[in-house]
Amino acid sequence: METVSKPAAAARVLAVRPVGTTAVLAELSGLHDVLALQALLLEEPLPGQVDVLAAAETVMVKADSPAAARRMAARLLEMDLTVQSHAEGKLVQIETVYDGDDLAEVGRLTGLGADGVIAAHTGQVWTVAFGGFAPGFSYMVGENHVLEVPRRSSPRTTVPAGSVALAGNYSAVYPRKSPGGWQLIGRTEAPMWDLSREQPALAAPGDRVQFSAVRELIEVTDTPAGRAASEAPASHEPDNQSGLLILSPGLQSLIQDLGRPGHAGLGVSSAGALDRSSLRRANRIVGNDPSAAVVESVAGGLRVQAVGDQVLAVAGAPSALTVVTPSDVPDDDAPDDEDDRSDQVREVPMATAFALFDGEILTIGAPELGFRSYLAIRGGAAVDAVLGSRSTDTMSGIGPAPLAAGQLLGAGAATSSNVVGNPELQPDFPDTGVTVLDIVPGPRDDWFDAAALESLCVQEWAVTPRSNRVGMRLDGAALSRSRDGELPSEGTMAGALQIPPDGQPVLFLADHPITGGYPVIAVVVDHQLDLAAQVPIGGSIRFRWAPGYGLPTSFSDSSPDISQTN
């Protein structure tokens, strides 16, 4: 798939690169044009536009279909970006203790030493250019470039909340514990993200930030007006106390629906079920709306007890579904001359509606194939919506907390019919063998040579235990870049294969960071993300170029034009 471009001109989009099959990346000459294009797209959305994400030198536009994404390229190249300048934002003061793990290294890289780094960071006013990566994570541009440093060669799996960091010519504060590859120079207690505020982000685009050095931090009291950024809203307990009592959540069980698109500008990813087709299937079977909230459970072990009679269905990874009627729950259908007070056990099928009567216990066994199961309760899971969705976003901490033993999960009223659906056939699910995923060239495939692109597809990549809903961390023969330097942070999406400097790919999933600074070599086609979500830990993945794409455009003159490709 080739990049569409035109001669550079003032206040115009310079080029448009495809990002998978349902998004495009507009390249611009600088931050002023980036903000201008973002403003125009928010004021007058393009047909099929789902979300817009500004970054350092690009704007990513997500579409509702491949056809809409194809049409966007020409429209973006034609847009006049002349807009009036924006008013100066407020000044935000952030107290910081400068004791970060990378402070000495930043001092060495800049030649300033640790004390010089602190003086340079506090001695200038930073302006929030754009949001991204996570809710409340603001990319701040300084008045000079004396603190310009590269990202770490390999990102940390966990960065503490409140970490003050540097990368490129930007500074930022991590609003919550998350993965990250920035250089850490200090820490703060400033609440960067708080959903109880009218403007959840402490520092929004256009605002100015002044850091000040302190010896110690005063912890902010947890009040309704200033809750911690990572605190998730409590689940809604229905008045009738009817639903499912969680006896054991297994390895991890989360509330998920079809996600919350449209909030990328706030640093909020879509999240939602990783296997969307299984969620829809489970909801369809019990008569729910397609977007009703369900329980997404990993690797089996979920045990729930009915509080009141319930109608359930489980779709996704094939697993043994066992229902136990405890001895203290009478069986009204038992003959009078039989003992109706002993435990009774029955098996129920996958992808089929079944009744779980008051007091009965359902256990989802370990998957025979696949990795994730979806338990739908008729009426949907009754939890509070945040930004229009009931899904749990593990990256940002938005949405319901993970299910815990002793919690009552209520049944709502999200039904679309008065009847339950027929049993349904399920697709084939991956095992610990090799799963083949189709990919299309990424927006930064030109950061890699032909050998790296070939290596991406000829080898098998192992899914490591470091994988989660943010992304699948893969292990194999490292991929080398053909270009040195740092890529300015830009928007990304689920399915993107990002290559950090260590050469080990990360396949982004639903809870991925909104922006990233590592080049995306390829993108898994959207309709195969459900399959990718079911590859278990320890399984293997092989990538292949989707039919009709061949090698990326950097190495093939026969790649199809963006305006002609599905």
SS3 assignment, position 282: helix
Is 146 found in the same domain as 74? no
Is 126 found in the same domain as 67? no
Both tokens of residue 197? Answer: 């505020």
> What is the radius of gyration, based on Cα positions, of the chain?
25
Q: What per-residue confidence (pLDDT) applies to 59?
A: 92
Q: What per-residue confidence (pLDDT) applies to 562?
A: 34
Identify the domain containing residue 445 by its residue range.
Answer: 434-555
Task: State the CATH number of the domain containing residue 33.
Answer: 3.30.1360.40
Distances (CA, A) of 111 to 100, 147, 404, 423: 17, 10, 50, 67
For the packed helices 113-122 and 103-110, what is the interaxial angle rounded to 10 degrees?
90
For residue 449, being part of any structural domain is answered with yes
Is 103 found in the same domain as 215? yes
For residue 566, being part of any structural domain is answered with no
Is 97 found in the same domain as 183? yes
Give dist(CA 405, CA 250) in Å, integer.
9
For residue 225, being part of any structural domain is answered with no
For residue 421, being part of any structural domain is answered with no
For residue 283, being part of any structural domain is answered with yes
Is 107 found in the same domain as 171? yes
Both tokens of residue 531? Answer: 């399959």
Is 253 found in the same domain as 392? yes
Is 442 found in the same domain as 391? no
Number of domains in the chain: 4
Is 257 found in the same domain as 211? no
For residue 565, being part of any structural domain is answered with no
Residue pair 415/353 in contact (Cβ under 8 Å)? The answer is no
Q: What is the 3-state secondary structure (H, E, C) of 448-461?
A: CCHHHHHHHHHCCE
pLDDT in tens, the chain (566 residues): 455 555 544 578 999 999 999 999 999 988 778 878 888 898 899 999 999 888 878 999 999 999 999 999 889 999 988 764 555 678 999 999 999 999 999 999 999 999 999 999 999 999 888 887 778 888 898 988 899 999 888 888 899 999 999 998 899 999 988 888 899 999 999 999 888 887 788 988 778 999 999 998 766 544 433 333 334 444 444 455 799 999 999 999 999 999 998 888 777 889 999 999 999 999 999 999 999 999 999 999 999 999 999 999 999 999 999 999 988 665 555 555 444 557 799 999 999 999 999 999 999 999 999 999 999 999 999 999 988 899 999 987 889 999 999 999 999 987 877 788 888 899 999 888 899 999 999 999 999 999 999 999 999 999 999 999 999 999 999 999 998 877 888 889 999 999 998 999 999 999 998 888 899 999 999 999 999 999 999 999 999 999 876 544 433 333 333 333 33
Is 401 found in the same domain as 265? yes
Helical ranges in 2-65 per DSSP H: 31-43
Q: What per-residue confidence (pLDDT) applies to 207?
A: 85
Q: What per-residue confidence (pLDDT) applies to 127?
A: 85
Helix (H) or strand (E) holding 474: strand 471-475
Helix (H) or strand (E) holding 258: none
Q: Among 219, 254, 279, which residue terminates a domain?
A: 219
SS3 assignment, position 129: strand
Q: In degrees, to the nearest 5, what angle opens at C-alpha 355 toward C-alphas 354 and 356?
A: 120
Q: What per-residue confidence (pLDDT) applies to 131?
A: 80
Q: What per-residue confidence (pLDDT) applies to 558?
A: 35
Both tokens of residue 339? Answer: 């003992």
pTM: 0.80
For residue 419, being part of any structural domain is answered with no
Is 483 found in the same domain as 355? no
Task: State the CATH number of the domain containing residue 534.
Answer: 2.40.100.10
For residue 51, being part of any structural domain is answered with yes
Q: What per-residue confidence (pLDDT) applies to 225?
A: 35
Is 473 found in the same domain as 334? no
Is 31 found in the same domain as 156? no
